[in-house]
Amino acid sequence: MKLGAALGLALAAAVSLGLARFAYALLLPAMREDLQWSYFTAGAMNAVNAAGYLAGALAMPWLLARIDARRVLLAGGAGAALLLAAHALVRDNALLYALRAATGVASAASFVAGGVLAARLAQGSASSGLVLGLYYGGTGLGIVVAALGLPPLLLDASRWPLGWFTIGALAALAIAITASTTRALHAPPQAAAQRAAFPWRPAGWALAGYAMFGLGYIGYMTFVITLLRDAGHGAVTVTAFYILLGAGVIASSWLWAGLLQRMRGGGGLALLNGLLATATALLALWPEQLLLVFVSGGLFGSVFLSVVASTTAFVRHNAVPAAWAAGIAAFTIVFAVGQIVGPVLVGMIADAGGLARGFGVSAVVLASGALLAALQRPIIRP
């Protein structure tokens, strides 16, 4: 039952991040060509998605205090599926902005609730790091499926709406499976006397490092396909790159499970941010070099969702169970703030001096996140 529930939760993560956010990178080149977007507009689409995600994350402590987390997870996932399909029906930028924002709200509800359920599922388990890794690594499945299914639909740039219909249908299927495999899993609303505040101030370095992660990684995940296209790489290379990246996300469940189990301070977050900075710098410096392109994609994919998992592990290690929901929401909030700024910043830099320069700035931001996280010490000693 525990493995089936963990896999069901992983599919929910595939929807809330893999399809609702990261499939956009595959659709972006076609949408830019057909709708005549600047890099700034392309980045702003993901910025408003992150703003919606922030709004959803801010509402989660209130919502989870009143509604079972599983119900929130399923409602958010179903809403995201409908909104993704609705992207296919509009071409006006204002309406697309609204849909991206609303999708962000639904994704946050699903993802934060799923994180709470994953933490409950991992409680008392000798393989808690693996359970959390499976949940966050599930995003990779969404990336792989999108990479396999979308490129043939986008040979003609005007067919991007069909891509959104496809993503919406895949999301609906995934959430249906999640519903059937998590029936025994619940996180009922806590009474006020059972809830506890998360220690924001003692966790400040970890929160700051995670904010830099949100600011730095999102430029890569928004524009990497466009960068590869601009560097002259063809459809086969781009598809293989994104499949490798998604496979890395899936593999990260096993690669970093031990780290998530052991690390109680900010060391894990620091290490993972440093690896992401390296992967991003490779593309900033050598986007035409095929071998380095695949090294970058494999490294980035095998790390970036484990950064998210590391914060859930940090909350579990450093807060009482009654404060877990507030702690996961706290990290989700600073993550979302970084994501709002990141795509617009990279888009502005790209419009002025090229995407490679924007990737260079992202690498520096990620490196600064590693330094900040390295200063975090455990709050609760074992």
d(C-alpha 287, C-alpha 274), whole Å: 19
DSSP state of 153: G
Q: How would residue 264 be classed by pLDDT, with cut points 50, 70 and 90?
A: confident
Enter the pTM of the model: 0.86
**pLDDT for 199:** 67
Query: What is the mean pLDDT of the segment spanning 350-377?
Result: 94
Residues with Cβ within 8 Å of residue 28, at least 6 apart in sequence: 42, 222, 223, 225, 226
pLDDT at 238 over 80: yes
Task: Give the tokens for residue 143.
Answer: 């990336």
Neighbours of 239 (CB within 10 A): 17
Nearest 5°: phi and psi at 376?
Answer: -75, 130
Q: 209: helix, coil or strand?
A: helix
Q: Give, as one character, the DSSP assignment of residue 298.
A: H
* Structure-token match 């466009």, residue found: 226
Q: Exposed, middle or buried, 294 (CB in 10 Å: 0-12/13-18/19+)? A: middle
User: Does position 92 have pLDDT exceeding 50, yes or no?
Assistant: yes
pLDDT of amino acid 155:
72
Residue 238, both tokens: 């781009």
CB 380 within 8 A of CB 319: yes
Q: Once rounded to an integer, what is the mean pLDDT over residues 52-70?
A: 87
Residue 319 pLDDT? 74
Give the relative orientation of helices 24-35 and 204-230 as an angle to the nearest 10 degrees: 50
Q: What's domain 2-184+201-374's architecture?
A: Up-down Bundle (1.20)
Domain definitions of the chain by residue range: 2-184+201-374
In 3-state terms the chain splits into helix, strand, coil percentages (rounded to 5) of 80, 0, 20
Tokens of 308: 């998210």
pLDDT at 193 (0 to 100): 45
pLDDT at residue 128 above 70? no
Query: What's the pLDDT tens digit per position in 292-305?
Result: 999 999 999 999 88
Average pLDDT of the residues of the chain:
88
For residue 5, the tally of other CB atoms under 10 A from its CB is 22
Given this model, what pLDDT does residue 192 score?
53
Give the type of residue at 160. W
Summarize pLDDT for 151-162 with one digit per residue, the tens. 777 778 888 999
Band of residue 96 on the pLDDT scale cut at 50, 70, 90: very high
pLDDT tens track for 108-127: 999 889 988 887 887 755 55
**Predicted local distance difference test score (pLDDT) of residue 121:** 82
Q: How far apart are alpha carbons 224 and 24 in whole angstroms?
A: 11
Tokens of 50: 């992150």
